[in-house]
Structure 1
Amino acid sequence: MRRPAVALAGALLLLTSALAGCGGESEAESSSEKAREQAAEQELEAAADRSVCRADADPVDEPYGEGFPESWEFPADTTVYDVEHRGETGVIVTAVSSAPFLTILDFLNHEAVDNGFAITEGETEEHDAEANWRSDEQTGRWAIRESADCPGETVIQVFAAAPGA
């Protein structure tokens, strides 16, 4: 069972790497994009407590606030429990799902992309993954991690940059 999971993760990493290599960016665009990616990564790391289990998560109301895409969908069996408005930077939404890590990874790499959130770059490891995304209106980053505190659960964080940021 472990080999197919590793093979799937590797294939998804290759796919996201191939997508990241498409198109020609100038050095200035690339540098600016890298700065935005680093800022998004730092925002996610500083966000909500990721030790909340789904049984203890108090759901927040939808929509998740100005700046977060209304068309973003979370997988079934997921509870969104924290929304952080970061002013001009954007919005971070944190959720926990009872679905396993690879199921969430598959959802984000397929259903989210089909809903208009194209992956521009990403990385997948055994217990966590993250990717930058772009829609018609904005950019952002998602990160998922197997929960260290809740066996079988997956923490999902989505950063949506403010339009024009």
Structure 2
Amino acid sequence: MTARLGVAAVAVALLLLPTACGGGDSDADAGDLDAGSFSAAADTGTCVKDATAVTATPPGYPARFPFPAGTVVFNVEDRGADGMIATGVTATPFDDVLAAMNAAEKSGFAVTSGETEEDDAEANWSGNGFVGRWAIKKSASCPGETVIQLLSKRA
């Protein structure tokens, strides 16, 4: 997967995220997507300089999901019936990543619910034959960097 795909996906998701903070039980809105284990899977310690991009994605992954420019997707985990989880990191600041993720609607991935806090944001989305959840978080060990996770499965 190229960094371009990662960047585009993040940009789209950010634009789609509601601007209100709090307000709503986003975990409940996730339906049968396991939001708890999804959040627990985040690797917030890998920095862009240390990340090695995956070279291929498994079948059933929404390869057209637009991550923000400069995103390095370094892990894709197949969770069977629960879907795929892709983890990436970018040197793009959190607020810019948020805007980019919400902009994913332009590529057909619409946010259906979400919430934003100071250091993290998450949203459920659907589109192009997929449903899922994305989460972004300021990196725990790499100042100015943002970790992105994308959970997806066929609708």
TM-score (norm 1): 0.74
Alignment partner of 1:135 out of 113, 127, 140: 127
Alignment of 1:98-109 (within 5 A): 98-109=91-102
- Structure 1 position 43, deviation (Å): 3.2
Distance in 2 (alpha carbons) for counterparts of 1:70 and 1:58: 18
TM-score (norm 2): 0.79
Structure 2: gaps spanning 5 or more residues: 1-16
Distance in 2 (alpha carbons) for counterparts of 1:80 and 1:36: 25
Q: State the Cα deviation string for residues 88-144 of structure 1 (Å, max 9, x = none).
A: 11000000000000000000111x111011000000001100000001312000000
Is 1:13 matched with 2:6? no
Largest Rg, 1 or 2: 1
SS of residue paired to 1:108: helix
Code of the residue aligned with 2:145 in structure 1: it is: E
Is 1:45 matched with 2:51? no
Greater relative contact order (Cα < 8 A, sep 6+): 2
Distance in 1 (alpha carbons) for counterparts of 2:54 and 2:128: 26
Alignment of 1:67-146 (within 5 A): 67-110=60-103, 112-146=104-138
Give 4+ residue runs of structure 1 displaced > 6 Å after superposition. Answer: none
| 1:128/1:146 contact within 8 Å kept | yes
1:36 alignment partner in structure 2 = 32
Q: Which structure has more helix as a fraction of its residues?
A: 1
Count matched residues: 137
Structure 1: gaps spanning 5 or more residues: 1-10, 21-30
Code of the residue aligned with 2:69 in structure 1: it is: A
